């Protein structure tokens, strides 16, 4: 029985998942980094900065001390953007024995090329690590819209008791042992979503989007397989499912970032209302990772060139369409 947990990070996903946990009858200790947001949440139970219009349950309590919140809980959900996980968790100084950490982050650390649970393992040592991922916009989860996710862990005991505790009629959670595949898919689909936003911004049609999704999926499959993950994962909830969602909707921050790049914005002039488009940083990490593994990922490579080398989106599409013809 899981009656209380910690959620680290009060961004849109941390807030939304706290709403879901409360709906499951689980009390939540929510760690909030931003001082003004902490004040807003304590006074009004609203996250006006990241998820406006959503009121949090009285069963959600708010904390600013990360060591206090972790010491109070056995299960800790990590809703911190990938590039900030290390700086946040290096401040932990409490006993972690018997703790279960579940990552909600999607990305690859740009310096180390580690996935979110790998970053946590690097910092925290031998603790139970899981990853929860899949097609899920934060607002819909907060409002209780039917959603399906996958929980992956190398430890079966972690998967089963956490899965059962957080599943209800609003959120169905499947179990997986392929934590590498699940986390890689969650990272890579964001890069393809940036590309999809670029294509939308350039005025291309549904044909282009369909082609981008299917060839993007092929890139995801190549890298997941090279890293020892399962192709079954790529064609499942955290792979194809999440890719279709983020590559077809303006609700996706990564899709909106792509739109802005098509309009001529640069990485320094993106404006997402304080939100993070993980695909922007992940594109840089993917290029390094594919080079190290000898994996060909032309779409991801072109996204990187647009963001970091100033290549025009139009030229990138032309170069992709005029590559050497091959068998599928």
Each residue's pLDDT tens digit, 18-38: 999 999 999 999 999 999 999
Calculate mean pLDDT across residues 273-293. 91
Q: How confident is the model at residue 275 (pLDDT cuts 50, 70, 90)?
A: confident
Q: What pLDDT is recorded for position 28?
A: 98
Using an 8 Å Cβ cutoff, are 307 and 280 in contact? yes
Convert the pLDDT of each residue in 29-87 to its tens digit: 999 999 999 999 999 999 999 999 999 999 999 999 999 999 999 999 999 999 999 99
- Spatial distance between the Cα atoms of 281 and 195, rounded to a whole number of angstroms: 14
Using an 8 Å Cβ cutoff, are 201 and 262 in contact? yes
pTM of the model: 0.96
Q: What pLDDT is recorded for position 1?
A: 76
How many CB atoms lie under 10 A from the CB of residue 230?
18
Q: What pLDDT is recorded for position 270?
A: 83
In sequence order, the β-bridge partners of residue 28 are: 5, 60
Active-site annotation, residues: 189
Q: Assess whether pLDDT exceeds 80 at residue 273.
A: no
Q: What pLDDT is recorded for position 269?
A: 85
Convert the pLDDT of each residue in 245-266 to its tens digit: 999 999 999 999 999 999 999 9
CA atoms within 13 A on the CB side of 258: 38
What mean pLDDT, rounded, does the chain reach? Answer: 95
Using an 8 Å Cβ cutoff, are 183 and 281 in contact? no
Q: Assess whether pLDDT exceeds 90 at residue 295.
A: yes
Convert the pLDDT of each residue in 147-192 to its tens digit: 999 999 988 777 899 999 999 999 999 999 999 999 999 999 999 9
Q: What pLDDT is recorded for position 157?
A: 75
Q: What pLDDT is recorded for position 272?
A: 81
Alpha carbon 297 to its chain's center: 20
Domains of the chain (ranges; CATH) run 4-177 (3.40.50.720), 180-321 (1.10.1040.10)
Using an 8 Å Cβ cutoff, are 189 and 239 in contact? yes
Calculate mean pLDDT across residues 292-314. 96
pLDDT-wise least confident of 13-27, 52-66, 97-111, 266-280:
266-280
Of 97, 32, 34, 105, give the one whose Cα is nearest residue 71: 97
Using an 8 Å Cβ cutoff, are 84 and 59 in contact? no
Using an 8 Å Cβ cutoff, are 76 and 257 in contact? no
DSSP 239: I
| Pairing assessment for the beta strands 46-47 and 27-31 based on DSSP bridges | unpaired
Of 275, 212, 200, give the one whose Cα is nearest residue 244: 212
Of 178, 283, 287, give the one whose Cα is nearest residue 235: 178
How many CB atoms lie under 10 A from the CB of residue 228?
10
Using an 8 Å Cβ cutoff, are 300 and 286 in contact? yes
Q: Assess whether pLDDT exceeds 80 at residue 274.
A: no
Q: What pLDDT is recorded for position 267?
A: 86
Using an 8 Å Cβ cutoff, are 115 and 85 in contact? no
Convert the pLDDT of each residue in 213-222 to its tens digit: 999 999 999 9
Query: H-helix or E-strand containing 310?
Result: none
Using an 8 Å Cβ cutoff, are 12 and 1 in contact? no
Q: What pLDDT is recorded for position 25?
A: 97
Calculate mean pLDDT across residues 271-275. 77
Length of the chain: 328
CA atoms within 13 A on the CB side of 101: 27
């Amino acid at each position: 029985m899981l009656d209380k947990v910690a959620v680290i990070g009060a961004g849109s996903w941390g807030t939304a998942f706290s709403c879901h946990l409360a709906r499951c009858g689980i009390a939540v200790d929510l760690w909030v980094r931003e001082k003004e947001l902490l004040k807003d949440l304590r006074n009004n139970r609203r996250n006006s900065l990241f998820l406006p219009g959503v009121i949090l349950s009285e069963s959600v309590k708010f904390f600013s001390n990360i060591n206090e919140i972790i010491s109070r809980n056995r299960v800790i959900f990590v809703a911190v953007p990938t590039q900030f996980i290390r700086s946040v968790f290096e401040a932990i100084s409490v006993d972690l024995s018997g703790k279960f950490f579940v990552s909600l982050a999607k990305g690859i650390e740009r310096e180390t090329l580690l996935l979110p649970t790998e970053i946590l393992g690097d910092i925290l040592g031998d603790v139970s690590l899981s990853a929860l991922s899949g097609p899920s916009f934060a607002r819909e989860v907060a409002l209780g819209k039917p959603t399906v996710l996958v929980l992956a862990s190398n430890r079966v005991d972690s998967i089963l008791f956490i899965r059962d505790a957080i599943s209800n009629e609003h959120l169905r959670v499947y179990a997986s042992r392929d934590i590498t595949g699940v986390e890689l898919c969650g990272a890579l689909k964001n890069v393809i979503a940036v590309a999809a936003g670029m294509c939308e911004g350039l005025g291309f049609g549904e044909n282009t989007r369909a082609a981008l999704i299917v060839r993007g999926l092929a890139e995801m499959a190549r890298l997941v397989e090279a890293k020892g993950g399962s192709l079954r994962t790529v064609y499942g909830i955290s792979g194809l499912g999440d890719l279709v969602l983020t590559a077809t909707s303006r609700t996706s921050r990564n899709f909106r970032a792509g739109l802005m790049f098509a309009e001529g914005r640069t990485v320094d002039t993106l404006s997402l209302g304080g939100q993070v488009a993980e695909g922007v940083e992940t594109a840089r990490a993917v290029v390094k990772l594919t080079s190290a593994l000898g994996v060909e990922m032309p779409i991801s490579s072109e996204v990187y060139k647009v963001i970091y080398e100033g290549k025009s989106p139009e030229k990138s599409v032309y170069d992709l369409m005029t590559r050497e013809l091959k068998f599928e």
